[in-house]
Chains A and B, each alone.
Chain A
Amino acid sequence: MFSNILIYFVIIPLLMLGGFALCRTDKAVRTVAVVGSMALLALSVWLLVDYIALRQAGETAEMLYTGSWVWFAPLNIHLAVGVDGVSIAMLLLSSIIIFAGSFASWKIDNMRHFFMWLLLLSTGVFGFFISIDMFTMFMFYEVALIPMYLLIGQWGTGRKEYSAMKLTLMLMGGSAFLMLSLIGIYFHSAPEGGQLTWNLLEIAQNDSISRGWQYFLFPMCFVGFGVLGAMFPFHTWSPDGHACAPTAVSMLHAGVLMKLGGYGCFRVAMYLMPTAANDLAWIFLILTGVSVVYGAFSACVQTDLKYINAYSSVSHCGMVLFAILMINTTALTGAIMQMLSHGLMTALFFALIGMIYGRTHTRDIRLMGGLMKIMPFLGVGYVIAGMASLGLPGLSGFVAEMTIFVGSFQHTDMFHRVFTIVACSSIVITAVYILRVVGKLLFGPVQDEHHLSLTDATWWERLSTITLIVSVAAIGCFPNFFEWLIRFTFSPEIFRAIGLN
């Protein structure tokens, strides 16, 4: 078991948890956090390199590094792991954000407990991405959600109890649908008389869920994951939750946790039930297409920095689900790239907002202005994040969105065309709200003279910001690499039932 590299993605966070329990000073906590998150980052980079080497050597299996250990035999539950290009991209994303997030929470009250919950959350996230057994996947999913309640309720700001409760209940509501759907899939996972299984690969291989059952299970599964992916109209946990969450939690939540939704929709709903996905896509295309512009328009009139960014996330994550539902290789590649891109840039946004809020003690853009002059580093970082968000070439947003648009445009019927153009129009609205914020917050005369005495970023804040900026620029400048990494994943089996290529 321990010879499988993937297991260490769960073991390291657990070891860190243990480490935190032993720590007595903040300094020790920081050391453990930094060492641990660097180990995770190194591990995912090493995994990436090794994965590429294997692929180059001609490895064609769908999932690599697979391993399976019986956990509860009567129900055939295994701890089954395996990764492909998509999961590796997600693991890399998670470890980058945890790394940056550790530095962003350099100074926080009750640090030991904060990091313990944060790392429990990370355990869930990593476990989710490496699992190929639906049951363990769901378990890790829940492990990732619960700490959020405590993190927001304890370390948050503003109406934190309300937000924490709302977030948890809404996501739990989604989980309920999801659980039902997963159990349903389990009971149809094999042909009559066959051994039932939770393993994604085996279920896909068996392809034994009838069309009728798919129609029933797919919407539940998609909605269940879609709640976490901030799909309209189940997105309202996101603005409140983000607004009240502490910096690192916002980063991790928007950067990684919301990706669990998109990843789940792709990996479970789409992958196991392609027929229903193809037939019912139009319903969800309407919802996600609405999400994209709806989120963007809402962001235009918000005045709280975090609300603006939360609504912008609704718009960008809507784009992820939108692209998944287009069900072709190009659009799916775009969806995964959009997950990466949105994860990184939104984490960057939340990190910067946290740093600005830590100085000005307000997030209301009407009360701030001219901050560029006072804190140039944070200002430049914010402009770069904004540019990534509005899709400037050379940063990650552009490549992801363009891949999605080109992919979506492959459908020739009027319905898809119209929604593609609606989604395209978000590039204009995004520019409106991003430039509105940048203009009010950073440019113009200084609004509040108390701000004149504020300082620019400290070294740990710089490190956190630069890590994310470099990642965003790397995707934006070398998209072909990521495209290759992701596309290799899309084996023909995914599309077998649909007859697409």
Chain B
Amino acid sequence: MQPVIPIIILALPLTMFLVLGLLGHKMSHRLAGILGTAGMGTTMVLAYIVSFTYFFSGNPSFIDADTHTRLQAVIFNHDWLAFTPSLVIRLGFLLDPISALMLVVITTISFMVHLYSNGYMRDHHGVWETGFQRFYAFLSLFSFSMLGLVVATNIFQMYIFWELVGASSYLLIGFYYTKPSAVSASKKAFIVTRFADLGFLIGILILSFYTGTFNFTDLTSVEVSNGVYQISESTASSVKNIFATSAAPVFMGGSVLTWALVLIFMGGMGKSAMMPLHIWLPDAMEGPTPVSALIHAATMVVAGVYLVARLFPLYLMEEMSLQIIVVVGALTALYAAMVACTQIDIKRVLAFSTISQIAFMMVSLGVARPEFHHGLGYMASMFHLFTHAMFKALLFLCAGALIHAIGSNDYTAMHGLRKHMPVTHITFLIGCLAIAGIIPFAGFFSKDEILTATMGHSTFWYVWMSAVAGLTAFYMFRLYYLIFWWKEHKVPQGHHAPHDQPWTMTLPLVILAVISCVAGFVPMGNLVTWNGHGMFENVNIFTNFAALDWGVASISLAVAIIAIIIATVMYKKENPLPEKMKNLLPNLWRWCHHRFYWDELYMFITHKIIFGCISKPIAWFDHYIVDGAMNGLALLTQKVSYAIRGLQSGNIQMYVWYYLIGALLLGAITAICLI
């Protein structure tokens, strides 16, 4: 493939950022919106072209015809910074199944959000938000960074764009910068993810030092040997090199490779909001809702999953690192689902739901093994990433429409909106059905694959994750009923009834709803697998049905339906049941409602320990001890000068005395020495 289109895919959003950022204040709001949307639309079309070419053209550089294996193709790769002859950061464009998939996901959601924001970022009278141009500039910056991240050809390029998405996320969360809560949320998001990135950076340093390369193609290439897919000879040897050259191959019970992988995973935990680094994501909801849909639901937060998937062949070499991923993911999934059941702010419910769903993807990667259905977990994880991006963006954009109409994030202000906002109602319901995993919506297929993969790994985690899936259905329908049913909404005198939104907002909702209905039929097993080898021989639209493990599927379906029935009983009409449940387990409810006091714990650590016990003492030490010593030295010099200046009195008689005393002393010393 010629590098022209890939270059444009990256360059266009960057150009848009520069144009809107530097000249935005000179152009009208409408023009800025149109320009941004058109730019993103073009990028989307080009990304589709690239991605479809990769998957379906049959080009020999993309697929190996004999083994039906999809290959990694480096479209272009320019040196950017050479640390040593072998450790070179390059900026390039890597096409392989997951990056091609991500190109589609990112550009689709980003375009929807660009379009949607044209309606969202103005009030009911059509007055544009202040900083509208800036908003589009930042959206473009984000899209550029995210695209750069997924097409990275080497781990350092990924790190570069990883930091850039972090910064654009910071800018967008803090978009309403006069609001103190938004400022502190953006700060929190940046610092927490920065802390995780420290782990990522050290992981990169370790990995690259021992393997001598940053390149993904060197680190993760897979090949067929004796009919079995495994890590290619060259990769294995460069990774084995780790043990050969390392002076201390084992450090605190883990090999160097394990440490590197776990530290890199720590970076992923930060971005993907895995416990205990999840605390920034709920607060990030302070940003405008389209931003939450794009960054904090569909694209940036799955970067951690993408990172693990990208290095998956390496993770396969260290069983322990995969075990850690499973445990972290499973704990996070349950935790976030429990918390989501008790939140009042609809965006927070969705945020915790996002955390929980990303944890599903993580678990799925953690349980993936080549022995089990050709690494089903890997495929399931990417499949869920794809479907989740669609239906979660849909849910967030619906939430945005509701907030836009009501002017509040709180569901108690919403109740019974189904008649006033029919389009939002239907699309939101589709989103809920998809996330709950009801056949035939998108989430059903992907979640089922994840559960099957988990089942193949361990029954314990399978039961655990099924329970979380049930909780998911429950809290989503709780939210649905509380927004659209419960009690009727009374319109106060002199106010307009809440109503559906302009077409710029409706159209993305409808498109995403349609995708959420049909995305489950995409034969992902044939497109995205850990080794590039397709799972199915023949592909048609019922492939996914045929491939289902109906035992697992029927159980998960039953769990979801039961959960939805419980939610219906509890929340469809105003009734005292929820209150009773709450009083039944008051402590559990309180802990969930306060998110298990993680934020308070972090507050304590940062304010009391970092500021109070480290920074302040250091500043004190600097001022009174280090500087005090310098001032003391100066003072001492001064005092000594004052003390001895009396000697220089100018009084001749005194000088004679000094002379005599000195002469006598000298004489005495001489005498002593001579004797």
- Say yes or no for A21: interface residue by CB 8 A criterion: no
- CB pair A236 B615 closer than 8 Å: no
Shortest Cβ gap from A457 to chain B (Å): 15
Could you mark each residue 282-314 of chain A with 1 if its beta carbon is under 8 Å from any beta carbon of chain B, else 0?
A: 000000000000100110111000000000000
Taken residue by residue from 409 to 452, chain A's Cβ proximity to chain B (1 for < 8 Å, 0 otherwise) reads as 11011100000110011011001100110010011110000000
A405 lies within 8 A of chain B by Cβ = yes
A233 interface residue per 8 A CB criterion: yes
Establish whether residues B81 and A294, one from each chain, have CB atoms under 8 Å apart when the complex forms: no
Q: A297-B614, A432-B191 are in contact. Are A406 and B198 (CB under 8 A)?
A: no
Residues from chain B with a CB closer than 8 A to the CB of A483 are 81-82
In angstroms, how far is the closest chain B Cβ from the Cβ of A169?
Answer: 7
Pairwise interchain contact B177-A444, C-beta atoms closer than 8 A: yes
In the complex, which residues of chain A have a beta carbon less than 8 angstroms from the beta carbon of B180? 444-445
Q: Counting CB contacts under 8 A, is A394 at the interface?
A: yes
A302 and B619 contacting across the interface, CB-CB below 8 Å:
yes
How does the 8 Å CB contact mask read for B352-374 relative to A, with 1 for contact and 0 for none? 00000000000000000000000
Those of A84-131 within 8 Å (CB) of chain B: none
| Cβ < 8 Å to A, chain B residues 203-238 | 205-206, 208-209
Select which of B82, B178, B197 is within 8 A of A370 by beta carbon: B178
A393 at the interface (CB under 8 A from B): yes
CA distance A185 to B645 in the complex (A): 37
* Complex alpha-carbon distance, A309 and B353, angstroms: 41
Complex-state Cα separation, A166 to B627, whole angstroms = 10
Q: Which stretch (B104-112, B159-167, B288-296, B569-577) binds chain A?
A: B159-167
User: In the complex, which residues 51-99 of chain A have their Cβ closer than 8 Å to any Cβ of chain B?
Assistant: none
Q: Quick one: closest B residue to A445, CB to CB?
A: B178
A435–B187 touching, CB < 8 Å: yes
List of A residues within 8 angstroms of B616 by Cβ: 301
Give the distance to chain B from A286, nearest Cβ to Cβ, in Å: 15
Q: Are A406 and B164 in contact (CB under 8 A)?
A: no
A445 neighbours in B (Cβ, 8 Å): 178, 180
A172 in the interface (beta carbon within 8 A): no
B195, A428: Cβ atoms under 8 Å? Answer: yes
Residue among B83, B183, B187, B629 with the most chain A CB within 10 A?
B83
Which chain B residues numbered 164 to 196 have a C-beta less than 8 Å away from chain A? 164, 167, 170, 174, 177-180, 183-184, 186-187, 190-191, 194-195
For A436, the closest partner residue in chain B by CB is B187
Contact across chains for A425 and B626 when beta carbons are under 8 A apart: no
User: Given A294-B618, A428-B191, A480-B82, does the pair A406, B177 have CB atoms closer than 8 Å?
Assistant: no
Pick from A232, A235, A421, A439: contact of B187, CB under 8 Å: A439
CB distance A479 to B81 under 8 Å?
A: yes
Whether B163 pairs with A393 at a CB distance below 8 angstroms is yes
**Of listed B184, B209, B610, B619, residue having the most chain A CB within 10 A:** B619
Answer yes or no: B406 CB below 8 A from chain A CBs.
no
Interface residue? B247 (CB, 8 A): yes
User: Would you call the interface of chain A mostly helix, strand, loop, or mixed?
Assistant: helix
Query: Given B201, B206, B610, which contacts A427 in the complex, CB threshold below 8 Å?
Result: B201
- The proximity string for A residues 347-368 relative to B, scoring 1 for CB distances below 8 Å and 0 otherwise, is 0000000000000000000000
A147 to chain B minimum Cβ distance, whole angstroms, is 22
Write the nearest CB–CB distance from B496 to chain A, whole angstroms.
Answer: 30
Say yes or no: A392 contacts B164, CB within 8 Å.
Answer: yes
Give the complex CA separation of A425 and B199 in angstroms.
9
Nearest-neighbour CB distance to chain A for B84, whole angstroms, equals 6
Contacts of A394 in B (CB 8 A): 160, 164
Determine if A392 and B81 form an interchain contact, defined as CB atoms under 8 angstroms apart: no
Residues of A within 8 A of B167 (CB): 387, 392
- The answer to whether A34 has its CB under 8 Å from any CB of chain B is no
Tell me, in angstroms, the Cα distance from A405 to B201 when the chains sit together: 9
Q: Is the CB of B177 within 8 A of A424?
A: no
Q: Which residues of B contact A442 (CB under 8 A)?
A: 177
User: Chain A residues near B558 (CB, 8 Å)?
Assistant: none
Contact present for A393 and B161 (CB under 8 Å)? yes
Contact of A236 among B186, B187, B626 (CB under 8 A): B626
| Contact between chains at A398 and B202 (CB < 8 Å) | no
- In the bound complex, CA of A199 to CA of B170 (Å): 52
A412 and B202 contacting across the interface, CB-CB below 8 Å = no
CA distance A445 to B629 in the complex (A): 41
Q: Is the CB of B634 within 8 A of A298?
A: no
User: Once the chains bind, are B630 and A443 in contact (CB under 8 Å)?
Assistant: no
Least Cβ distance of B474 to chain A in Å? 38
Cβ–Cβ < 8 Å partners of A169 in chain B: 634
A375 beta carbon closer than 8 Å to chain B: no
CB under 8 Å from chain B, chain A span 299-336? 300-302, 329-330
Q: Mark B603-632, 1 if CB is under 8 A from A, else 0.
A: 000000011001110110010001101110
Nearest CB of A to B24, in Å? 12
Whether B87 sits at the interface, judged by CB under 8 Å, is yes
CB distance from B79 to the nearest CB of A (A): 6
Residues of A within 8 Å of B170, CB to CB, are 435
Return A430 CB to nearest CB of chain B, in Å. Answer: 9
Q: Is B80 an interface residue (CB 8 A)?
A: yes
- B637 closest partner in A (C-beta): A169
Bound CA–CA A372/B177 (angstroms): 9
Contacts A392-B164, A431-B194 given; does A373 touch B611 at CB 8 Å:
no
Cβ of B619 and Cβ of A393 under 8 Å apart?
no
CB neighbours of A297 from chain B (8 A): 614-615, 618-619
- The yes or no answer to A403 lying at the interface (CB within 8 A) is yes
CB-defined A-B contacts under 8 Å, sample of 20: A166-B630, A297-B618, A373-B178, A392-B164, A402-B81, A402-B83, A403-B81, A405-B201, A409-B206, A410-B84, A410-B209, A412-B246, A427-B194, A427-B197, A435-B170, A439-B183, A439-B186, A443-B178, A444-B183, A480-B82
Further pairs besides A372-B177, A392-B167, A403-B83: 6, Cβ < 8 Å:
A166-B630, A405-B201, A406-B84, A428-B191, A445-B178, A479-B80
Q: B residues within 8 Å of A by Cβ?
A: 79-84, 87, 89, 156, 160-161, 163-164, 167, 170, 174, 177-180, 183-184, 186-187, 190-191, 194-195, 197-198, 201-202, 205-206, 208-209, 246-248, 610-611, 614-616, 618-619, 622, 626-627, 629-631, 634
- The 9 nearest A-B residue pairs measured at CB: A393-B160, A236-B627, A443-B177, A300-B615, A443-B183, A479-B81, A301-B615, A431-B194, A406-B83
